Amino acid sequence: MKPTRTLALLGSLVLGVVACAERGAPKPASQDAAQDTATDMSDDVADTGSEEGDEGEVDDDDCEAPSPRRLRRLSHLEYRHSLQDLFDVDIDDHGSLASDPSVDGFDNDAEALVVGTLLADQYRNLAESVALSADLSPWTTCDLSADSCRLDTIDALGRSLWRRPLSAAELSTLDELAVALALDETAEAGLRWTLVAMLQSPHFLYRAELGVEDASGTYLLDDWERATVLSYQLWGTTPDEALLDAADSGALSTEAGLQAELERMLEDPRAAEQLADLVEAWLHLDLLDTVSRVDLTDTERAQMRAELRSQVIDQMDGTTDSLLADGLMLSPALLTAHGVPEGSGPVQRGVMVRELLLCEHLPPPPSGIDTSAPEVDPTQTTREQVNQHAEDPTCAGCHDRIDPLGFAFEHYDQLGQWRDTDRGLTIDDSGNLDGLTFSGADGLTEALRSDPRVATCFVQTARRWLSGAPACADEVAEAALTAPLTELSWERR
């Protein structure tokens, strides 16, 4: 797959996140503690969390502030992809994981991704199941009973799993463990049980974004950290051997080397899948897994999601505008995720447009207000009933911003299927976007295509998702929304 405009945008955003992690910052008071944690974090996986300096939160509009120096746990999706790419296994065949916590609709929030007792136990079970059954032939190419072979194998496994070379002390400790574990079994068994320990180590479960301080007090990601950032943000998985080789050679510290790896990685199908994951996060399509809808089956949930992902991947040569033009707003997955159990749900769909496509925060309803849906009145359309509710002065302020957008979808039921009438009555699907009138979902789509807030919102959401935290957000012009990848340049902005 050749890099396209949408994938070029993803590459540009990733470079922006790298740059955000490398802006100048005074040496934080907690630097020594953070570095000690990075060095000794294999002591206790359950007690290791995200470590930061004193920079605090980074405002989306403050591009002078650096991202926090931190250890960032792999999300369950990243963990799943990593094991699949390393050992060609599906973790569903080996165990389960408690759901990642969701913050503002994102399940990869760095501060929320900690390891509690339950998750640590699940990691242990999965590590044992995977390590004791995985195909280790890519690493075991010699006689493990020979000291030199065993050391070389552990060293190679360490680089693949921990995304950096093992230190001499780490290699010695892991080798001693393999030897001890092999005393009553075989050399291969000793290696596999050592792999169990490596898979539970925070060096595998966490991504280090600590950087190395230069003479000016700036913390720059080292080449191994850069390889990890690039891989998890472009592919959603662990670095491959080619990327690790680039880190080892120092190529990722140069503009040409970094650009070459970006081009290579964006040609990989995993980049397109990662972009589809981003769109799913943008539109909060995880709701599709749990919402209750009349006549919705589990098979249909999966089909809807697969169809939307295919639609996104097919539009790799475009931008958010081309996604909208291709019918994104009428996707059954989107309309089913945002709606009501039966009927159209104009309020819910209007909120979806305001908050997810325009990034406009809506306050919660005032206390004491009954937000439950009114009983169905067969003599009125859904729109007429909603309009009556919105006449309450306490509610009108928000509903005037929500309902005119949601009414665009009145011809679509709880599964996003067309309906000619509403309760046998004529449907009015006219609306307006901040004074710009339109008719129906197609009219709303055209209004959104001409609204620069949509592209800006997508960029801000992408930066939030890629960084795992509120982070400095590029202006649309800086994000190279339509520039081909070859025109992108790497710079510390």
CA distance 148 to 143: 9
CA distance 281 to 285: 6
Q: Which amino acid is at 384?
A: E
Q: What pLDDT, on the 0 to 100 scale, is given for residue 157? A: 98
Contact 320, 283 (CB under 8 A): no
Rounded to 5°, the CA angle 478-211-155 comes to 120
- Closest Cα to residue 322, out of 313, 168, 373? 313
Rounded to 5°, the CA angle 158-164-166 comes to 50
Q: What's 477's DSSP letter?
A: G
Query: Tens-of-pLDDT digits for all 493 residues of the chain?
Result: 455 566 666 777 777 666 666 654 433 333 343 333 333 333 332 232 333 333 223 333 444 456 678 889 999 999 999 999 999 999 988 888 999 999 988 899 999 999 999 999 999 999 999 999 999 999 999 999 999 999 999 999 999 999 999 999 999 999 999 999 999 899 999 999 999 999 999 999 999 888 888 888 888 899 999 999 999 999 999 999 999 999 999 999 999 999 999 999 999 999 999 999 999 999 999 999 999 999 999 999 999 999 999 998 887 666 788 889 889 999 999 999 999 999 999 999 999 999 999 999 998 888 777 777 778 899 999 999 999 877 878 888 889 999 999 999 999 999 999 999 999 999 999 999 999 999 999 999 999 999 999 999 998 899 889 888 865 444 433 333 333 322 322 222 2
Q: What pLDDT, on the 0 to 100 scale, is given for residue 4? A: 57
- Closest Cα to residue 9, out of 468, 460, 492, 446? 460
Contact 275, 7 (CB under 8 A): yes
Q: What pLDDT, on the 0 to 100 scale, is given for residue 15? A: 72
Q: Can you say whether residue 382 is alpha, beta or left, with left for phi > 0 and alpha for psi between -120 and 50 degrees?
A: alpha
Q: What pLDDT, on the 0 to 100 scale, is given for residue 317? A: 62
CB atoms within 10 A of CB 484: 12
Q: Please tell me whether the overall predicted TM-score, pTM, comes out greater than 0.85 for this model.
A: no
Give the strand pairing for 70-73 and 436-439: unpaired
Q: Write phi, then psi, for 188 (nearest 5 degrees).
A: -65, -40
Token digits for 141? Answer: 């190419």
Helix (H) or strand (E) holding 399: helix 393-406
Q: Which residue has the tokens 């509690």?
A: 116
Give the torsion through C-alpha atoms of 81, 86, 87, 88, to 10 deg: 50
